[in-house]
Chains A and B, each alone.
Chain A
Amino acid sequence: MTAPVDTSDPKQLGADTDGTQFMTFHDLAYDAGKTVFQRKAQPVGQGREGELLEVAMGPQHPSTHGVFRMDVVLDGETVVKLKPVFGYLHRNHEKIAENTSYLGSMPYTDRLDYFCSLTNNWAYALSVEKLAGLQVPERAEYIRLITAELTRVLNHTCLAGFLLQDMGALGTPLMYAFREREKILDLIESLTGARMMCNYMRFGGCRCDLPAGWLDEAKKVVAEYPKFLDEFDALLSGNEILMARTQGVGKLSAELAISAGITGPMLRASGVDYDLRKVDNYGLYSRYPFRVPLGSHGDVYDRYMIRMLEMRESLKILEPALKDIPEGPVVDPKAKLRGFRPKPGEAYGRIESPKGELGFYLISDGSPNPYRYRVRPPSLINLTILEDMCLGQTVADAIVTLGSVDIVLGEVDR
């Protein structure tokens, strides 16, 4: 169908952070040079002036992934203008957090990006640890690494399913994705007691230790996961319809991506080598070698492919980490849970969440409540250039472009 990737051509490959290793876009055929189907440029407004149609897509639209609204101006089927409208799920999370204790908003962070509550927990715990200068025991660091990578795999699996759903592949890919997600959710449930609202991390460690036999179960899930990815790849990645719907759609240049503060898989699909796991070296990521996949076109297909590749890299971290995890306490014995009052000051901590850079900015005035609590939501900021990506495309492509951004409205609106 398409020519295989020429591995000697660095343009077709992604670079590792240190610039030494390269990785291919997997062994599947990915025609990096040209799109499979050439699109015709759509003439805008020729002889049809004054026939623009204004449509409010959302907030109750099945493909906006929640209560999100796009006010779209259409010329025929072509998008001429697009304004995103937010706030339908706004509950002023930050104000609520400023009126409660530091620990009190830990369960509330679960509700930000409810697909990845464990990474939300970690980002918040990391920021508070920076603010108060707390240490985390090694075993807790391992648990954080393992749960965060499991969350990443879970999130990317679901995203692939949802993206295909947006393209009209109703049911099958999403059901396959959810079947696998359920296995990871079972692990998370047996560890934290909740499938999605985990409330698991604490300042200076984690809430509870792993239950007996958990590591073996996790190893089993991780060992079987590549089989599912192969299946998923065989089903989707080389699919002609998927390529036709995604290649060359929703293009984003590296320059604009950097200026607009795009982070996560979406940034790397545009070819910018910036992964906080490598840059900030938080947690134990420096102990495990993994590669950062990079795209070269910045289109929807690259964004899809980056996520498929990132899952394999996450499994590469998980496999040895599950073997290496040492015995020991899971929370710093000196960490105070009650009456926790950090000294006056401020801190900004950030991690690479599955959606992008998730940061928490905290100001303490010495009281039990944070004086200022701010969430830097990757989902909201990744939407900054939604209009730029969708202009001149058809409505159907705008839907796919939005799907590839990977938003969760709990985090966009806060």
Chain B
Amino acid sequence: METLEQTKARAEAAVPGAQLSVVKNDSPSAQHSLLVDVEHAYAVAKFLRDDPQLRLDYCSNVTGVDFLDAELSEKVKVKKVVDGVEKEVEEVKKTKRAGYLEAVYHLYSMSLKHGPVILRQRTPGRADLVKVTSLTPLWRSCEFQEREVFDLYGVLFDGHPDLRRILMWDGFKDYPMRKDYVEPDDYEYEPTPHDEVLEKAKAHQAAQEVKA
């Protein structure tokens, strides 16, 4: 099987305007992935499926990943004049990274028996800009899995035929797999509360007293 760089070059040639980049994976598994922009995701995925060398006819796994807003620190060498002498000094440069959601697709080929090629789509933000392109029209196996990503992460899949909640009930409001999800306060009376439960109980008891 060709390397991911070769696949990327051929996909770029086949789909004009597609912005692709390789996301490196430093773990021993060495499963690098291909990040594709949302506008061209469908065309690139179609290329990967129909290309005679790749024929990735089987989309095995679809999932979401949540990345919160983060402050990344990077060590940068800066030239500075210290006591009249120019010196190279290491400084920590801090950059803010806006949070985003990802949809990850693991593609294999059943006919050529190779894989995986990992495709990622990234949303611009986490709050309202959460749209990516649905690949269900290409692989039917995405149908339930994209619904699950929508259900648990709140990623909207453009072009999905039936985007409803799948595991949580229809009236549920939040997205439970997000990293900043707060569990509902299911308070139950306990005769001898302690630690966290005591803290929780105090709030509820205060509310009770106000009512009374």
Contact = CB atoms under 8 A, between A and B. Distances in A.
Interface of A: 86-87, 90, 92, 94-95, 130-133, 256, 258-262, 272, 274, 279, 342-350, 357, 359, 361, 363-364, 371-372, 374, 376, 380-381, 383-385, 413-414
B169 interface: yes
Given A92-B177, A372-B65, A259 B60 contact: no
A94 B177 contact: yes
Contacts of B166: 86-87
B61 to A, nearest CB: 4
B19 interface: no
Contacts of B167: 86-87, 90, 92, 413-414
Given A86-B166, A95-B177, A345-B29, A361 B61 contact: yes
Given A260-B139, A261-B58, 13 more contacts: A94-B177, A133-B28, A260-B143, A261-B60, A261-B140, A262-B141, A343-B26, A344-B26, A345-B25, A346-B31, A347-B27, A348-B29, A359-B106
Interface of B: 25-29, 31, 57-61, 63, 65, 104, 106, 110, 113, 116, 118, 139-141, 143-145, 152, 166-169, 176-177, 181
Question: Per DSSP, are chain B's interface residues mostly helix, strand or loop, or mixed?
Answer: loop
A357 B28 contact: no
15 contacts: A86-B167, A87-B166, A94-B177, A130-B28, A260-B143, A345-B27, A345-B29, A346-B31, A347-B31, A348-B29, A361-B61, A372-B63, A376-B60, A376-B63, A413-B167
A348 B31 contact: yes
B109 to A, nearest CB: 10
B147 to A, nearest CB: 9
Contacts, number: 108
Given A92-B177, A381-B145, A384-B144, A344 B27 contact: yes
A19 B130 CA distance: 46
A155 B27 CA distance: 34
Contacts of B168: 87, 90
- Which 9 pairs between the two chains have the least Cβ-Cβ distance? A345-B27, A261-B141, A133-B28, A347-B29, A260-B140, A376-B61, A87-B167, A130-B29, A90-B167
Contacts of B25: 345-346
A380 B144 contact: yes
Contacts of B29: 130-131, 133, 345-349
Given A361-B106, A364-B27, A413-B167, A279 B113 contact: yes
Contact of A258 (B110, B145, B181): B110
A272 B110 contact: yes
Nearest to A259: B140
B142 to A, nearest CB: 8
Contacts of A130: 27-29
Contacts of B152: 92, 94
Nearest to A133: B28
A402 to B, nearest CB: 15
A272 B58 CA distance: 12
Between A132, A343, A348, A376, the greatest number of chain B beta carbons within 10 A of the residue's beta carbon is seen for A348
A133 B140 CA distance: 33
Between A131, A258, A344, A371, the greatest number of chain B beta carbons within 10 A of the residue's beta carbon is seen for A258
Given A274-B110, A383-B144, A384-B143, A348 B61 contact: yes
A173 B104 CA distance: 43
Contacts of A414: 167
A143 to B, nearest CB: 23
A369 B174 CA distance: 23
B168 to A, nearest CB: 6
A118 B140 CA distance: 30
Between A256, A262, A346, the greatest number of chain B beta carbons within 10 A of the residue's beta carbon is seen for A346
Contacts of B59: 261
A138 to B, nearest CB: 20
Nearest to A343: B27
A274 B109 CA distance: 10
A338 B26 CA distance: 23
A133 B29 CA distance: 7
A394 B169 CA distance: 29
B141 A384 contact: yes
A259 B143 CA distance: 11
Nearest to A357: B60
A262 B116 CA distance: 17
A206 B139 CA distance: 37
